[in-house]
Amino acid sequence: MAELRSFFSRHEDLTQVLLYAGIITSLWFAEIMVSAESIKYKWKHSTVNALFIFTALPIQLLLTTFVILISKWDIAHHWGIINFIPHHRNHWVYYISLFILLDLCEYIYHVTMHKVEALWKFHLVHHSDLKVDVSTTTREHPCETAIRTGFLMLWVFICGPAIGVLILRQTFQSFSNIIAHTEFRLPEKVNRIVGLVFITPNLHHVHHHYQLPYTDCNYGDVLSIWDRLFGTYGKLSKTETVFGIDTHMNEQLNGNFAGVVKLPFQKFERPTQQHNNY
């Protein structure tokens, strides 16, 4: 067991990639089995999104090295918010506290990507997908990959988690993000219960609605509690949800990898929020 833990600690990126690929592939085939769309359309749509894996991986692998170095520095110097939490030497307190802290940090990151115009230009690539399914998880502009990992370095520096916490956190985060983007939705009664604590596909689909104010709600990464706490929680039925972003609804452009990569560098005006019927 110690050797296995040591291997995963030394190969965190490989662990995440294998887990990520396995879950996405399984759900992609599951979506095909229940989807009313043709396999040809599904394949074309997924291929565009999958190409972003090849831009994300080199950046992710390079910058995660610095994340690990920062984590080791934190531990060596007893640095980070975790050191001020009572009974933090207890494993349960340590892991749960850091999981919650890091999830709050990811909520802050997500809100920042929406509210800062220069960052939104890159994040809108993810939102520009007109058909949200499990492949949408990989639709991330390479510049956002760098920005996201840069923020992670900051969160690790501030919070002070050990490598084991990061592996656990990234495992839950990867699983949650993949599930949130899948075509499958929970029955409404189940969603009301699970959604009290966790982000569900039902909740995240609202976030991918093409118009404000819904685009600016349900920012949660794993936990939905932050949206409820900070007033960014929103509801919208499946029949009312339209995927995409209203400034970029060109199906031909959004279905072309090169065109999507260029989106942040094109001029556009973001619509102002007209109403607040959350």
pLDDT at residue 5 is higher than 90: no
Query: Of 206, 211, 29, whose CA–CA distance to 135 is shortest?
Result: 29
Give residue-wise pLDDT tens across range 55-87: 998 998 899 899 999 999 999 999 999 999 998
| Tokens encoding 43 | 């394949």
Domain ranges of the chain: 2-265
HSE-CB of 137 using CA atoms within 13 angstroms: 23
Calculate mean pLDDT across residues 180-198.
Answer: 93
Give residue-wise pLDDT tens across range 198-249: 999 999 999 999 999 999 999 999 999 999 999 999 999 999 999 999 988 8
Give residue-wise pLDDT tens across range 136-168: 999 999 999 999 999 999 999 999 999 999 988
Neighbour count for residue 277 (Cβ, 10 Å): 9
DSSP at 142: H
Tell me: cis bond preceding 264? Omega within 30 of 0 counts: no
- Which residue type occupies 78? H
Query: Higher-confidence residue: 184 or 107?
Result: 107
CA atoms of 34 and 74, how far apart (whole Å)? 47
What's the pTM value of the predicted model, to 2 decimals? 0.86
Contact 162, 71 (CB under 8 A): yes
pLDDT at residue 105 is higher than 90: yes
For residue 244, the Cα-to-chain-centroid distance in whole angstroms is 16
Length of the chain: 278
